[in-house]
Every structure is written in structure tokens, then in C-alpha cells.
Amino acid sequence: MDKSSPKVAVVGAGIIGMTVAKILQENLGKAQISVIADKFHDDTVSCVAAGIFRPGTSFRGPTKEITKKWIDDSWNYFQDILKTSEAPDAGIMAFDAYIFSKENYHVTRNHLIEDIVPIYRPVNDDELKLVSGDWKYGSYFSTLKVGSEKHLPWIEKKFKANGGKILHKKVDSFASLSDYDLIFNCAGLGAKYLCQDYDLVPIRGQVIKARAPWLKAAFYGDYDTYIVPGLDGVATLGGVRQYDSYNLEVCKYDTASIMERCCGLLPALKAAEVVTVRVGLRPHRVPTRVEAELVGGQKVVHCYGHGGYGVMCAPGTGMQAVQIGLDLLRGKTVSKL
Ligand SMILES: Cc1cc2nc3c(=O)[nH]c(=O)nc-3n(C[C@H](O)[C@H](O)[C@H](O)COP(=O)(O)OP(=O)(O)OC[C@H]3O[C@@H](n4cnc5c(N)ncnc54)[C@H](O)[C@@H]3O)c2cc1C
């Protein structure tokens, strides 16, 4: 084996796998990197997501400090792309966001991003009337979104141009990848079966993608109601969070509930054309798993279990996973990490 040119497999082609592959390639010019997955692009959970940069306050890594570092590193990573002319091709857009509540002041605050986004402040009385409803509490913040439908092909194009390989296949075990020096496990919910990880649980989500080119800001209401502007004028309307549900079928009752709640917030959405209704299973795990493991003698770096926040946190967790992988390639043992 030529140690100057290690052979690395990244299992998974969602936002986590593709981001890890990109960061890895930037750090390991000479490596032979293959992304191996059975689902790509639109078929991944990543392409169901609204992709907004707003973590739930319960999002958690192994420590508070690591969680915050993941978020801050991710924000800075996306800001660097936003500053370039590539941002539209990369599917990244900045916008204003409002979160309202009739009942609970605390849901309008977010300690994980208040110090990093340029503005996070309470709304004034005029802003409380921006949307329909008798809102009592609200915050305004500036944020961004990452549309995976553009971001994944954008990374893939760069990755292939720099010599990366894409392989379409299902991986049944890490043992089947024994000719690789290092494996990154970015299989999302698929990690449940690859690692027999019973802490990884689906949280079913359903969203409506509707044409609303006039929508320029994101709005959140109570009970998981959100409206997020999108690329090419297609907004994401949500949502639901159904713990331990594996149902991939569109539920008409969920569609009706999402429509009623979102139109209650913004009545103009009643006239919006529905482009599609999508279902995705969020890979939920507490904490999100970014760590190395020796599996049957093979070096595996896990990076999965991002729940409802994998799009926004892919770079931060990906940077840590790649750092662990580089240390392993340089000869550190898993137990010394
Ligand atoms: C309705 C909804 C709204 C969301 N909104 C947001 C949001 O606004 N912001 C945000 O940050 N996040 C959001 N999320 C969460 C986000 O979508 C996920 O956290 C993220 O997509 C997880 O990415 P992933 O790459 O781990 O998984 P996936 O996108 O599911 O990719 C997993 C990859 O692994 C591959 N794979 C799995 N098992 C195997 C195997 N055995 N062999 C080969 N390949 C395998 C799959 O084929 C796929 O390529 C939302 C999710 C949903 C469902």
C-alpha cells in the first residue's frame, strides 16, 4: 500500500457524506477518496430538509463546548461560501427570519446562535403584526439556508473534478470495505443497521414545497409551524416531528394540518401552487456521534445522528470527523484520540 496516497471510503452521499468528502479532499490532496452510497441527490433525507440555519435548542454533541464549536464552525464555513459568486450554485442564500409564539417566550430565544448570527433581537409591536394571529412573543434574526438539491451536486462536481470517485452500491458491513485504509460512516439513519446503534431513532418529517417567489423571510409559529423561503422561489412549509415512525408515505392528514397552520400564519399561501409533498426520516441521536472506532480491525470515523439539524451542522461535524481521520492516517491509535 502506498502510504502517501491512502484509500478512503465515505459511506453516504447526503449532506454529511458529501461535506466530509469535500473537506477531506481539501486536506488530503493525494488520497483516493470514494463516496459510496445507495441513494443520491433527491432520494436523500438531506433533499427533503428546509435547510435553515437554526438549531433546535436541544441539539447536542458530547459537550456544550463541542456543540457550540460545531455550530460556529458551520456558520463561518457557509459565510465563506456566501461571500463568493458561487453561493447561488452552492444553494446558499441569506434571509431574515421571525419566530413567534402565543404561549412561550423561551421558544423565541436560541442560545446556540444568538451570539453568532449578525442580529438576534426581540421583535417590536409592528413586527408582531407581520403575520396573522394574536402573537404575544417574537424574535427577529438574520440567518441563511442551504438547499441540498443544489448543494449536493455542487460538491459532487468539485469532488469529481479533483479525482474523487462516486460508487453506487449498498454497503452491508464495514468488513466489505477491507481494502480501504480508512472509512467515514456518514450513513444517516442507515448507520442504525451498519453499527447496530439502537440509540439512533427516526423522527419522521413531512413538508410541502410550494411556489411562493414573493416570500423573502422565514416565519415560525407555535407547534412546529414553519415557512422557509427557497431557491428558485419554492418555499418549504412544515411540519411534523413523529418520534420512532418509519412511515415514508405522505400522510394526507399531515398535509392538511401543515397547510392549515401555515396559511393561518400567512394567508397568501392559500394561492400558492403545491410543487410536491415530501417525507423524510430525521436521523436522531443524542448525542450526535462524531468519533472513531476500530471495527474488526478497520478504522472507522462515525459522523451521523444529526436529527433535524444535519444540513446546518454538516461542516462543523465534518471538520471534526476529518481531523480525527487525519490523526488516524498519521498513525494515532483509536484509543489515543
Ligand atoms: C422535514 C425535514 C426538515 C428538515 N429541516 C432541516 C433544516 O431546516 N435544517 C437542517 O439543518 N436540517 C434539517 N433537517 C435534517 C436534515 O435533513 C438531516 O439531519 C440530514 O439530511 C442528515 O444528513 P445525512 O447525510 O446524515 O443523511 P441522508 O441525507 O439520509 O444521507 C444518508 C446517505 O447514506 C447512504 N446510506 C445509508 N445506509 C447505507 C448503506 N448501508 N450503504 C450505502 N449507503 C448508505 C444513503 O444512501 C444516503 O446517501 C430536516 C429533515 C427533515 C426530514
pLDDT value of residue 31 = 86
37 inside domain: yes
Torsion angle of C-alpha atoms 56, 321, 152, 176, degrees rounded to 10: -120
| Residue 275 domain boundaries | 7-336
The total number of structural domains that make up the chain: 1
Strands 217-221 and 92-101: parallel
- pLDDT average per 10 residues of sequence, the chain (337 residues): 78 98 93 97 98 97 98 98 98 98 95 97 97 97 98 98 97 97 98 97 98 98 96 96 98 98 98 98 98 95 98 98 96 76
228 inside domain: yes
78 inside domain: yes
179 inside domain: yes
Within 6 A (CB) of ligand 1 lie 11-17, 36-39, 44-46, 48-52, 170-171, 186-190, 194, 205, 207, 238-239, 280, 282-283, 304, 306-312
pLDDT value of residue 1 = 41
Specify the CATH number for the domain of residue 139: 3.40.50.720
Instruction: Tell me the C-alpha to C-alpha distance, in Å, between residue 304 and each of 71, 133, 148, 282, 301.
Output: 15, 38, 17, 11, 10
pLDDT value of residue 3 = 52
1 inside domain: no
**Residue appearing with cell numbers 426520516:** 281
Among residues 237, 83, 52, the alpha carbon closest in space to that of 147 is found at 52
Task: Output the CA 147–ligand 1 centroid distance in Å.
Answer: 13
pLDDT value of residue 5 = 87
Q: Which residues, in sequence order, are CB contacts of 337 under 8 Å at separation 6+?
A: 291, 292, 324, 327, 328
Between CA 166 and CA 34 the distance in angstroms is 6
266 inside domain: yes
pLDDT value of residue 336 = 61
> Hey, which of 282, 290, 300 would you mutate to test ligand 1's pocket, going by the most ligand atoms within 8 Å of its Cβ?
282
Task: Output the CA 307–ligand 1 centroid distance in Å.
Answer: 8
Which residue type is seen at 328? L
Counting from 1 in the atom list of ligand 1, the atom nearest the Cα of 307 is 19
Contact 225, 208 (CB under 8 A): no
Total residue count of the chain as it appears in this document: 337
Contact 286, 265 (CB under 8 A): no
Q: Which residues, in sequence order, are CB contacts of 275 under 8 Å at separation 6+?
A: 209, 210, 211, 234
Question: What is the 3-class SS of 207-265, one letter each residue?
Answer: EEEEECCCCCEEEEECCCEEEECCHHHEEEEECCCEECCCCCCCCHHHHHHHHHHHHHH
For 298, counting Cβ atoms within 10 Å of its Cβ (0-12 exposed, 13-18 middle, 19+ buried), the class is middle
159 inside domain: yes
Residue nearest atom 44 in ligand 1 by C-alpha distance: 37
2 inside domain: no
